[in-house]
Structure 1
Amino acid sequence: MMNKSNRFSFIAILIGLIAFPAGASAQTYSVQYGDSFYTIAKQNNLTLANLQIANERSGSQLKAGETITVPDSVSEEGKELMAKLVHAEAKGEPYEGKVAVATVVLNRVDSNDFPDTVKDVIYEKTGGVHAFSPVKNGAINNSYDESDMKAVNEAIAFRGQGMNSLYFYNPDKVNSDNWIFSRKTIKKIGNHRFAK
């Protein structure tokens, strides 16, 4: 049986293999005397948990001179919108799938082929068609739960690591002649396929 720490490490490694972009703009920071995870998180508009997850640390101790990873921040409004999308798109899916859905949004923000903000990615319309069905059917306006926000925060914390998925779909809900089937599938999680 895995203890909580081992489970966290296993999930972190598994998530790192899913669908994160190679070109995201996470940055490194050289710790200065008196810095803490809390102060660095606050300076970078991150949650303490985001910063700790990105550095695979659970404690608060830092040493002057060590280098840590500082993921890009996402506004609270952006996080809530992503959590609503995750809830609508991945309700009933495994937690790993929720993180991967949130990651697709971040990958699109970081890609030159999509808009540059979370809001613009989620509400994007191409040829009169919404990129995400919950925008079209109104489910984007529903609430989200703690698990959805946790998945968003985890995706943000690991932003910039792993492979680059830009799409996800449920093959049972998509017409077999849909263009999405021409995309290379990277990972299958629950009922979703993640592709680039």
Structure 2
Amino acid sequence: MKHLLIVVVATLVINPLNTFAGANYEVKQGDSLWAISKHFGISLNALRQANNKYDNLIYPGQSLIIPATITNEEKELLARLVRAEAVGEPFAGKVAVATVVLNRVDSDLFPDTIKEVIYEVSPGGYYAFSPVQNGQINKAADADSYKAVEEALAFRGQGQGSIYFYNPVTAKSDWILSRQVTIQIGNHVFAK
């Protein structure tokens, strides 16, 4: 019985995202809202909203609601897209690419899941992201891409609302050039 308890506790610690999504978490000494949001792969805003918190004050023993998060499969897919779209770009650019996908999921203009956003096809028959079209999406993600996804999740909803990005040197669409620019990072321009 003691061995079973250790296995259950170890499982909870090793795989917290699947276990605690949409459940409660007991605050431990040294925890912060930022650290908890990053640990569970949710945005700080989502954690605050789920707990009606408007400040950063938490205390050991307090119970927090952990809102549902994305699955490990979705994280993997998003990290592969980040690697394919932002290879050679600065880390902030990788985070911004992941943020665009998350912003699309949160927008009424796009599908409701990461997978649907990434594999969306335009009326003209083109994928929204060129790595889907050219197969680069199937290559393994690197460590920086995974970190960028975690960072984008932690800051979800706190950016400038970018839902597009492009390389102005290679962009062929006049329409994309007409979008309101939010920021430029490396070779990418981000817009809404």
Fold conserved (TM > 0.5)? Answer: yes
Partner of 2:93: 97
Structure-1 separation of matches of 2:80 and 2:131: 9
Does structure 1 residue 165 correspond to structure 2 residue 156? Answer: no
Cα distance in structure 2, aligned partners of 1:139 and 1:36? 42
**Whole-Å separation in 2 of the counterparts to 1:138 and 1:154:** 25
Residue of structure 2 equivalent to 1:35? 27
- Residue 54 of structure 1 is matched in structure 2 by 44
Query: Structure 1 unaligned runs (5+)?
Result: 1-30, 56-60
Please report how far the alpha carbon of residue 189 of structure 1 lies from its aligned counterpart in structure 2 after TM superposition. 0.2
Equivalent pair of 2:41/2:69 in contact (CA under 8 Å): no
Residues 1:182 and 2:173 aligned together? no
2:113 is aligned to 117
1:6-47 residue CA offsets vs partner (Å, 9 max, x unmatched): xxxxxxxxxxxxxxxxxxxxxxxxx98x4349x9x9xx9x76
| TM-score normalised by structure 2 residue count | 0.70
Counterpart position of 1:12: none
In structure 2, do the counterparts of structure 1 residues 152 and 69 end up closer, same or farther at CA, with 3 Å as the change threshold? farther
Instruction: Return the alpha-carbon distance in structure 1 between the equivalents of residues 65 and 162 of structure 2.
Output: 22
Once superposed, which parts of structure 1, at least 4 consecutive aligned residues long, lie more than 6 Å away?
A: 65-69
Equivalents in 2 of 1:71, 1:82: separation in Å? 20
CA gap 1:121/1:48 in 2 versus in 1, 3 angstroms: same
**After superposition, what is the alpha-carbon deviation per residue over 1:139-166, rounded to whole angstroms, capped at 9, x for unaligned?**
0000111100000011001111132100
Q: Determine if the alignment matches structure 1 residue 142 to structure 2 residue 103.
A: no
Contact conserved, 2:86 with 2:93, CA < 8 A, in 1? yes
Instruction: Work out whether residues 122 and 132 of structure 1, in 8 Å CA contact, stay in contact via their aligned partners in 2.
Output: yes
Displacement of 1:188: 0.3
Q: CA deviation at 1:174?
A: 1.2
> TM-score if structure 1 supplies the norm length?
0.68
Does structure 1 retain, via aligned residues, the 8 Å contact 2:27–2:64?
no
Corresponding residue number in structure 1 for 2:71:
75
Return closer, same or farther for 1:77/1:148 CA change in 2, 3 Å cut-off.
same
Q: Which runs of 5+ in 2 are unaligned?
A: 1-23, 46-56
What count of residue pairs does the alignment treat as equivalent? Answer: 155
1:150 counterpart letter in structure 2? K
The CA deviation at 1:99 is: 0.1
1:8 corresponds to which residue? none
